[in-house]
Amino acid sequence: MKGFKHVVEIVPYVSEQDLEDILHSFKIDVRIIGDEYVGKQYTGKDYCEAKGIEIYYNSRDHRFSSSGLRKQVKSVEKN
């Protein structure tokens, strides 16, 4: 994503509290979240809506997910 000319910074986080802190600390124009969250409540949704932060629901064309990949890595590390 850093290759896009309009992306200034990508901020990774570990916990939901980290996410809340990031939303409150940075000037954010767009938050990208998976399309599985459309119509659902999630961390920071109300704050983004109140502050006019655009929420972009990203769809994925493949079967891979970060949580699925983490589970696979964890399983392999145990063995």
The pLDDT assigned to 12 comes to 87
The SS3 of residue 67 is helix
Residue 22: the pLDDT is 94
- Measured in degrees and rounded to the nearest 5, phi and psi for residue 55 equal -110, 120
Q: Is it the case that residue 68 has pLDDT exceeding 80? A: no
Every domain of the chain and the residues it spans: 16-78
Distance (Å, rounded) from C-alpha 34 to C-alpha 15? Answer: 17
Is a pLDDT exceeding 90 seen at residue 79?
A: no
Block residue for tokens 């999630």: 42
Q: State whether residue 34 is helix, strand or coil.
A: strand
